[in-house]
Amino acid sequence: FLPSQLSLLYKWLNSFPFLFLSGAGYHSESKAKEYKHVCKRACQRAVDRLKAGAFAVEAVAAALVELEDSPFTNAGMGSNLNLSGEIECDASIMDGKSLHYGAVGAISGIKNPVLVANRLLNEAQKGKLSAGRIPPCFLVGQGAHDWAVTHGIPPCPSEKMATKFSLSAYKRNKRKMELAEKMDTGHNQTKKRRQSSENENGSGCLDTVGAIVVDQEGNVAAAVSSGGLAMKHPGRVGQAAHYGCGCWAENACNMNPYSTAVSTSGCGEHLIRTMLARECSAAMQSEDAHQALLEAMQHKFISSPFLASEDRVLGGVIVLRCCRCVEAQPSQDIQGALVEFLWSHTTESMCVGYMSAQDSKAKTHISRLPPGAVPGQSLAIEGGVCRLMSIVE
């Protein structure tokens, strides 16, 4: 695999919240400006919420809403269409403080699936339902849609969620599938169909969005949202909805010295079979975060025995870990956190953005595999470190 690339960005800040978001797949040079602009808007929206006193889980949901509303991402508006020409979305969110989780899968007719996932999380925190029933944390299909509407989340016709780009991509993909079906039967047809499927589900179709946040209290949260693979079978649910696969967030405790938050993007089936979000979170308890993520991506993903039959393993992660500290100064106590934020991907590229409450604007970057690297067989890893400070009242 490729040599690791780690850039350390040391900053002293007097405000604590920090946001990090991403989407992995293929990001063309011609649309790089649009991708970065979307990331900046999402960062700003979340940081505004954090400055207003919102907790991490509220801020991470706000970031995802902004990303879902963009026609340039494969989440919410403009999502990939399935075989039937419909949009079905997946999303999940996790609160590192309560460890509660909410998710929806294959949901149609809802513009912002992450809001449904977040409402499921919030409702679960209220305790049992009537007659001692356990509240749901994961709903799918029509049941998820109906639950959302009854809980005040407005429906949106699927045809209004499709964009010119997603519709043209669907028509193009459908023509390719029809041509494949006309090919000669036998081994050659099977091989060509497999190649066609690989092309359609290559890294250009995998730009799931995700975000991770740490708030002023040191709580972490993570969320992810996706329209799924292009031309997927109706009812298919990807990693964005699966527990431990799409996102993970866990505050520090006696067993774990670090708070960690993770969000994944890429081929859902690959991420589900490796439970990559939870694997990366567990790896972050090691002393060297960079080395731990490098080894997790190599051994738990690219070379995973659960994916031994795959030629290309496509995915990406954003990871945040932090630990608290209090420094005594002559006139006041300074409460701070050392935050390490990393991203890694095997896809051709990954668009990332990050921002603290002290920053005037978000920083964005499109990470790419070096020239000659084979997507799905090589990885890139980058990241930084910052120290966030606040006054202890």
Per-residue pLDDT tens over the stretch 7-42:
333 333 333 456 665 656 555 566 778 888 999 999
Q: Give the mean model confidence (pLDDT) for residues 54-68.
A: 96
pLDDT score, position 198? 41
Of 14-18, 41-45, 83-87, 335-339, the one with minimum mean pLDDT is 14-18
| pLDDT of 212 above 80 | yes
Number of H helices, E strands in the chain: 10, 14
Tell me: pLDDT of 71 over 50.
Answer: yes
Please state, rounded to an integer, the average pLDDT across all residues of the chain.
86
Q: Report the alpha-carbon distance of residue 186 to residue 188 in Å, rounded.
A: 6
CA nearest neighbour of 123 among 104, 142, 110? 104
Q: Return the percentage of the chain with pLDDT > 90, whole number.
A: 72
pLDDT at 28: 58
Average pLDDT over residues 36-57: 93
Share of the chain above pLDDT 70, in %: 82
Q: For the domain 18-161+200-389, what is the CATH superfamily, name and number?
A: (Glycosyl)asparaginase (3.60.20.30)
Does 208 qualify as catalytic in the annotation? yes
Q: Is the pLDDT of residue 46 over 70?
A: yes
**pLDDT for the residue numbered 369:** 93
Number of residues in the chain: 393
Q: What is the mean pLDDT of residues 205-213?
A: 81
Query: Which pair of tokens denotes residue 254?
Result: 């006696």
Q: Which residues in 295-308 are b (16+ Cβ under 10 Å) and which e?
A: ebbbebbbebeebe
Q: What is the pLDDT of residues 363-391, one digit of tens each?
A: 998 999 989 999 999 999 999 888 776 64
- Point out the catalytic residue in the list 150, 163, 185, 208: 208
pLDDT of residue 327: 56
Specify the pLDDT at position 42.
Answer: 94
How much is the pLDDT for 390? Answer: 60
Name beta bridge partners: 213.
19, 221
On the question of pLDDT at 132 being above 50, the answer is: yes
Predicted pLDDT of residue 35: 86
Average pLDDT over every residue of 322-345: 74
Residue 336 scores a pLDDT above 80: no
Which residues, 6 or more positions from 338, have their beta carbon under 8 angstroms from its beta carbon?
322, 323, 325, 385, 387
**pLDDT at 393 > cutoff 80:** no
